[in-house]
Structure 1
Amino acid sequence: MKKNLSLSAAIVAGALAFAPAFAQDTAPAGTYVEDDAHAYINFTYDHQGYSSPYLRFNDFAVEVSYDPENVTASTVNVTIDAASIDSGVDRFDEHLNSADFFETETYPEITFVSTGLTQETETTGKLTGDLTIKGITKAVTLDVTLNKIGTTMQGDTPKMGFSAKGTVLRSDFDVDAYVPYVGDEVDLIIEIELEKSE
């Protein structure tokens, strides 16, 4: 598991799929994983109309198997430690781990498995996948933007970065305490860098 949601890494497949469109630099085939220091899965929601708090998951692992010759065969798997949810307030985190929300003792992991990609431009597209929270699986769609393809600062490891956004409903996953007083819609905001591991 790694430092710093939710499902973001799943978008990696989308970003990788755009690589062939960049003639100046392409992503080679292989397995890509998150750069621990530069990967963030955040989310926000409406709190009774007063504010839109930002939370995140601190521990997750992403593995992408990428084949530039057959992008649709590429796979993405994301596993999140549900108990790593971080609001910045310990008392709130304890409540989020309870049965009112993620019930992490019973459902310790959140997973995402990609199922498809639709490319819209050279650097943008929509990634679909199966998101599982509290044992409930739903299809989700993420808007993905490929930011850059290159190498690490040492110049010896292929690297790429992307941004992704999407919206899910808490009620779809039985994480719906206080709806509608607290918003049902959750906006996902993902920023992630990936490095080739093999």
Structure 2
Amino acid sequence: MIRLSSAAFAAALVAAPALAEPVNYVLDQGHSQILFQVNHLGYSTTYGMFSGFDGQIVFDAEAPAASSVTVSFPVATMLTGWEARYQHFMSPDFFDPAKDQTVTFTSTGIEVTGENTAKITGDLTLNGVTKSVVLDTVLNQAGEHPMEKKAWLGFTATTTLVRSEFGLGAFTPYISDEVPLTINVEAGVAG
């Protein structure tokens, strides 16, 4: 569910092509990423990314409480910058390839916290475990995309996961249990 403050809501209304019913926005795979970081033994911070994932935002301008966000992608799309690290992540130490490793997020609630900020709560399924997470979210922009010539939304969200809660606690506490995420999403009206 996405619900915005008055100013952000008004900006999103301007972007919506049809105000009488919910509008589907499809994630722009080329401009949506999830970045994560882990502290390695206190010596360095290692970064990784997921990109090219599927998802949609259903935005109901007249009843924002009825809006929703869904995202899904296979964990195998992880990018780490080093093949040996990727292979280790895809081993039984972390993401066992024998399991279904589809990551999903489905929104369940919202709390507006400012002019263009909100806390989006949702169910995250990761490594076969589903937990509620809260995304601190900023609406970056809503309007007509200058090249696509259609309604477009852009958001940045952050959260921190405790990886051991998802059955991914190998090598803690030497490798950080807390994993900060930064999520950047662009979405264009479907069609």
3-state secondary structure, aligned to 1:92: helix
Q: Where does residue 174 of structure 2 map in the other structure?
A: 181
Length-normalised TM-score, structure 1: 0.86
Which aligned segments of 4 or more residues in structure 1 are displaced greater than 6 angstroms? none
Cα separation, partners in 2 of 1:118 and 1:150, compared to 1, 3 Å: same
Instruction: Describe the SS at the equivalent of 1:117.
Output: strand
CA displacement, residues 17-51 of structure 1 (integer Å, 9 cap, x when unaligned): 32753445624241111112211111112111111
Superposition map of 1:1-198 within 5 A: 13-14=1-2, 17-18=3-4, 21-22=7-8, 23=10, 26=13, 27-28=15-16, 29-154=22-147, 156-198=149-191
Give the partner amino acid of 1:194.
Answer: A
Give identity over the alignment, percent: 36
Contact 2:137 2:155 in 1 (8 A): yes
Equivalent residues of 1:18, 1:119 under 8 A apart: yes
Contact 1:82–1:104 (Cα < 8 Å) also in 2: no
Whether the aligned pair in 1 keeps the contact of 2:5 and 2:114 (CA below 8 Å) is no
After TM superposition, give the deviation of residue 156 of structure 1 in Å. 2.5
Q: Aligned to 1:177, what secondary structure does the other structure show?
A: coil
Change (3 A) 1:171 1:25: closer
For 1:196 and 1:67, locate their aligned partners in 2 and report how far apart those are by CA, in whole Å: 12
List gaps (5 residues or longer) in structure 2: 17-21
The structure whose Rg is larger is 2
TM-score by length of 2: 0.89
| Matched length | 184
CA distance in 2, matches of 1:24, 1:94: 44
| Residue segments in structure 1 that go unaligned for 5+ positions in a row | 1-12
